[in-house]
Copies of this chain bind each other. A is one copy, B any other.
Amino acid sequence: MSDDPIMIGVDFGGTSVKIAAVFQSHIIDHAPPIATQDFETHGELIDEMVRAIEDLRARHPKIAAIGVGMPGFVNFETGLVYNLTNVRDWQEIPLKAILQKKINLPVAVDNDANCMAFAEWKCGAGRGYQHVVFITMGTGVGGAIIANGQMIRGARHGAGEIGQTSIDYRGRRGAYGNLGALEDYIGNGEITAKARDAYHEAGIQKSLQECTPAALATAAYAEDAVALALWDDVGRMLASAVMNCCWLLNPEAIVIGGGVARAGEILFNPLQKHLFPQLSGPFKDHLVILPAVFGHEAGTVGAAALAREMI
């Protein structure tokens, strides 16, 4: 469908704001990334985003709408960004209204995990499924839920926070007061710290830089016993939270993306090994566990997919 419109996808990260022109699920052009922390006020940063979007629009007049993925809680209906913990001057910002007024195009604003899920659901690994749980594993652990062929946002647009669900009711208290939050067990930093300790116990001294998930994946593929045991443990803890999603939502597919998930089968194999024996027939017989298709571009492609839904 060559007369499909072109969408702008904005992936607003704590480090940089990436802005791309997206046709179907392909990035056809992009603006230079904007350094998020260079701006004192939300107004200056938004003005810079508007300039970048207008530049893209000048080159692609068929741009029909703008989708924005934000790293924090968003009211999807009003497009209000409640609070960004890592960016200055971003409390209660009506981003959708501001952008629509400045650019005069339809704008959708959602949280970044929902955008990732949209990319995978509409054009990626989750395509064609009606019941899907998406998980993104990185510094934090996020997620999103599709049920009955719809995104489930919940009463206050907060749904899908699998990283905040508990895998141990007696676990330690996390960022939101929750005990035993999955994110506190398998977030990027936690994996790294746990690996360094495990190597230390095995009499091997490693720096934190040598214990990143990427380094641990390489080590595991080279049959490093410490790394293999660590990924097995990550798979076991992830399996518990995924199992809870399965008993609650009975999905057809679990789609997992994010930096940590790039470890590949060294993560997916233990996950499946621990997950399937904890589910009965109707919950596991047709269940598939799939790696996300989109990598770094999931944010922009997803935000563009969200914009496409809206028009």
A215-249 residues at the B interface, CB under 8 angstroms? 236-237, 239-240, 243-245, 247-249
| Inter-chain contact A154/B280, CB cutoff 8 Å | no
| Inter-chain contact A249/B282, CB cutoff 8 Å | no
| A277 at interface, CB cutoff 8 A | yes
- Looking at A130, A169, A177, A243, the one whose CB has the most chain B CB atoms below 10 A away is A169
Q: Which of B165, B281, B287 contacts A244 (CB 8 A)?
A: B165
| Inter-chain contact A177/B279, CB cutoff 8 Å | yes
Q: Which of B130, B156, B169, B277 contacts A177 (CB 8 A)?
A: B277
A131-B154, A162-B247 known; A176 vs B279 contact (CB < 8 Å): yes
Count of this chain's copies in the oligomeric assembly: 2
Q: Main SS of the interface on chain A?
A: loop
| Inter-chain contact B170/A168, CB cutoff 8 Å | yes
- Looking at A130, A147, A161, A248, the one whose CB has the most chain B CB atoms below 10 A away is A248
Contacts of A168 in B (CB 8 A): 167-170
| A73 at interface, CB cutoff 8 A | yes
A260-294 residues at the B interface, CB under 8 angstroms? 277-283, 285-287
| Inter-chain contact B244/A166, CB cutoff 8 Å | yes
Q: Which of B145, B180, B243 contacts A249 (CB 8 A)?
A: B145
Nearest chain B CB to A237's CB is how many angstroms away?
Answer: 6
Closest-by-CB residue of B relative to A170 is B168
Contacts of A237 in B (CB 8 A): 169
Contacts of A176 in B (CB 8 A): 278-280
Q: How far is the CA of A244 from the CA of B167 in the complex (A)?
A: 9
A167-B166, A168-B168, A176-B280 known; A158 vs B244 contact (CB < 8 Å): no
| A155 at interface, CB cutoff 8 A | yes
Contact pattern, A 177-199, Cβ under 8 Å of B = 1, otherwise 0: 11110000000000000000000
| Inter-chain contact B169/A250, CB cutoff 8 Å | no
| A152 at interface, CB cutoff 8 A | yes
Closest-by-CB residue of B relative to A161 is B247
| Inter-chain contact B286/A243, CB cutoff 8 Å | no
| Inter-chain contact B165/A243, CB cutoff 8 Å | yes
| Inter-chain contact B167/A248, CB cutoff 8 Å | no
Nearest chain B CB to A287's CB is how many angstroms away?
Answer: 8
| A160 at interface, CB cutoff 8 A | yes
Q: How far is the CA of A237 from the CA of B206 in the complex (A)?
A: 39
Residues of chain A whose beta carbon lies under 8 Å from any beta carbon of chain B: 73, 82, 130-131, 143, 145, 147-148, 150, 152-162, 164-170, 176-180, 236-237, 239-240, 243-245, 247-252, 277-283, 285-287
Nearest 8 Cβ contacts at the A-B interface: A154-B250, A169-B240, A156-B282, A158-B250, A159-B250, A165-B244, A155-B252, A178-B278
